[in-house]
Amino acid sequence: MRFTSERRLDDGVLEREFTLGEIPGLLWTPGSASAPAPLVLLGHPGGLRKMYPRLVARARNSAAEGFAAATIELPGSGDRPRSAAAEQARADLHRALKAGEPVNDEIVDRLVLPLVEKAVPEWRGTLDALMSLPEIGGPVGYAGGVIAIGLRLAVVEPRISAALLFAGSFVPRALFEEARQVTIPLQVLLQWDDEGNDRQAALDLFDAFGSKEKTLHANMGGHTGVPRFEEDDGNRFFARHLK
């Protein structure tokens, strides 16, 4: 991990850009931390520059609770090399949605499964590097982003103690069986009127999660209409499980 820039935000949070090989990322740490901080990994749908305003707001909320926060660019997003197969799958997805047609499992598999297979090892490698820093202690939480990535991480990464997942993206059917292996505490957000999300599939996925402690927060509104109070609820969720 190589830090390429740093700046102090107006609330004292230290923001640092880094690269890990070809992967760009951001790390935020509380300004007044006197001990190694628990860490929240911030998922997102891709495009660090585009997502920065939301990501920094989430990071500052986390820092206010004493958590460090970090994120990385997804494979095939931002300035990272594109995959022709993924671009074709994305085009097929948008074509189906625009035509009002069902999005079949074959399109979802072509788009999401390769992303999960690439992104999850990158997240785990990033976590290795972050946990070697003296200012980061753990435990670790995962929040938001592509739910299939969060699901896989919850299964394979033992350092993640709790996850806040956003049921706003397509999940391959093969991952529903993996969901039964998830045992960490979960809080799942679902926007009831999300135009691009299969509500019943999201409910079925929530039912499939094997966690004994799992909570579903369903709110009226579209994909980007998550109520502000969910940020506070998310912080309380992580405070219970990461402190």
Query: Does residue 83 sit in helix, strand or coil?
Result: coil
Q: Is position 85 within any domain?
A: no
Q: Is position 106 within any domain?
A: no
Residue 212 belongs to domain with CATH number: 3.40.50.1820
- What pLDDT is attached to residue 114? 96
Query: Residue 192 contacts by C-beta under 8 Å, 6 or more apart in sequence?
Result: 199, 218, 219, 220, 221
How much is the pTM? 0.94
Q: Is position 143 within any domain?
A: yes
H helix or E strand, kind and range, residue 7: strand 2-8
Sign of CA dihedral 87, 89, 90, 95: positive
Q: Is position 107 within any domain?
A: no
Domain hosting residue 58, numbered range: 2-79+120-242
- What pLDDT is attached to residue 138? 82
Count of domains for the chain: 1
Q: pLDDT per position in the chain (243 positions), as tens?
A: 999 999 999 999 999 999 999 999 999 999 876 789 999 999 999 999 999 999 999 999 999 999 999 999 999 999 999 999 999 999 999 899 888 888 899 999 999 999 999 999 999 999 999 999 999 998 999 999 999 999 999 999 999 999 999 998 889 999 999 999 999 999 999 999 987 788 899 999 999 999 999 999 999 998 888 888 998 899 999 999 998
Q: Is position 92 within any domain?
A: no
- What pLDDT is attached to residue 51? 95
> Which amino acid does the sequence have at 154?
A
- What pLDDT is attached to residue 122? 98
Determine the Cα–Cα distance for residues 86 and 76; give it in Å rounded to an integer. 8
Q: Is position 115 within any domain?
A: no
Enter the DSSP assignment of 173.
T
